[in-house]
Amino acid sequence: GHAPKGDDAIRQTNDDATISRLSAANLGYFHDPFVKYFVRRPSSNERRRSPLMNWGTYLRVTGLDELVDRFLGISVADEQDPSSSNAIETAKQILVLGAGSDTRWWRLKERGKQPAQYFEIDFPEITSLKIASIKKNEQLSRSLGTIDISSGGAELHSQAFHILPGDLRTFHPSITDALVKSGFNKDIPTLILSECVLVYLDPSRGDSIISWCSENLRRAVFVTYEQILPDDVFGRMMLRNLQSRGVDLRGIKEYPDLASQVARYISLGWDESFSVNLNDFYNSSVSSSEKKRLTAIEALDELEEWRMLLQHYCFVWAWLDRSKSGFTFRSF
Ligand code: SAM
């Protein structure tokens, strides 16, 4: 067949992410008993990625897990009386942009760590498939409680988990209105998660999302994982590879490296911003016992290739506190 174009090609990147997650989970890199329900044709040769990719997926998943856990673990001071040192438990929410087949909600729920509210956005073509999988699988639907499905199967609401169909290029007002109608609360601490998503948008569209959040939320953390360094040999290969499949990394041109990524959030209204490429994350944050465990699963022999690959992916996070209640979110 021929490669799909434009939005179809972008939507197909979700299948890649899901199969990569399944491959690494099957081999025991991390615990995800839910991802298998979202893979449509898990033929055996598709199911197994190269060791290099499995290690990469491991870092992507566990790095984001750690950032999400940090956010959920922040004890928030009483907004009415920030000078009192009484940290109180405040409800939090998570908004996932371009969530695709992400299983994070079920993984958090399994650990009893799910936030008060959790919202996912993606194209209706993607949310419909996700909702169909949820309907089919007792393991997925059971933990949601009563579910209400609308928009021809593309929208799902339950007590704490919501899937909304929409195009991120028109985030405000169409998606923001739908969010607020579904119970999204601008006043409570909010984590916005964009995992390999902003990079597919025109930079100005991504900027609008980042600014809307900084202008409208009182206490928030924005976490991004995506590609950088498009201009060296490896970066050009990465871009060509995607382009041959009809996908362009539009966002990478204006935000091609760690410094410009950090500057993006600062210039769009966030109090502070940090970044790390996956190579530095691996060296500084993965324990030696964990490295041993990974090597026992699959040894990596192309260390130079590994290092190059990791330099082209990064975590970026930014936080803001309009309430001056002492809410902060710093490094790993
Ligand atoms: N975040 C998921 C993960 O990491 O597994 C999926 C990542 S996948 C590479 C990119 C996702 O972003 C796809 O599900 C795609 O449909 C979604 N996406 C890209 N552009 C979008 C847009 N303009 N509106 C809504 N969703 C979009």
pLDDT digits (tens, 9 = 90+) for 139-148: 999 999 999 9
Distance CA(175)–CA(164), nearest Å, equals 8
**pLDDT tens digits for 261-303?**
999 999 999 999 999 999 999 999 999 999 999 999 999 988 9
Mark out the alpha helices in 74-160 (DSSP H runs): 104-110, 124-136, 138-141
Distance CA(79)–CA(101), nearest Å, equals 35
Annotated binding residues, as ranges? 60, 98, 167-168, 195
Confirm if 156 and 192 have CB atoms less than 8 A apart. Answer: no
Identify the three-state secondary structure at position 229: coil
Residue numbers of the domain that contains 272: 6-321
Closest ligand 1 atom, residue 169 Cα: 23
Confirm if 21 and 38 have CB atoms less than 8 A apart. Answer: no
Pocket-forming residues, ligand 1, beta carbon under 6 Å: 10-11, 13-14, 17, 98-100, 102, 122-123, 126, 167-169, 195-197, 200-201
- Number of domains the chain contains: 1
pLDDT of residue 325: 80
pLDDT band at 87 (very low <50, low <70, confident <90, very high): low
Does residue 330 form part of some domain? no
Tell me 173's DSSP state. I
Does residue 326 form part of some domain? no
The CATH number linked to 202 is 3.40.50.150
Output the 3-class SS for 62-76.
Answer: HHHHHHHHHHHHCCE
Confirm if 184 and 119 have CB atoms less than 8 A apart. Answer: yes
Does residue 328 form part of some domain? no
Does residue 21 form part of some domain? yes
CA 126 vs CA 72, 188, 201: distances in Å: 27, 28, 17
pLDDT band at 88 (very low <50, low <70, confident <90, very high): low
pLDDT of 1 > 60? The answer is no
200, 201, 209, 242: residue to mutate for ligand 1 pocket, most atoms within 8 A of CB: 200
AA identity, residue 308: M
User: What residues pair up with 163 in beta bridges, in sequence order?
Assistant: 120, 156
Tell me 156's DSSP state. E
Q: Which ipTM did the prediction report?
A: 0.99
CA 226, 232, 234, 239 torsion-angle sign: positive
Confirm if 279 and 60 have CB atoms less than 8 A apart. Answer: no
Does residue 1 form part of some domain? no
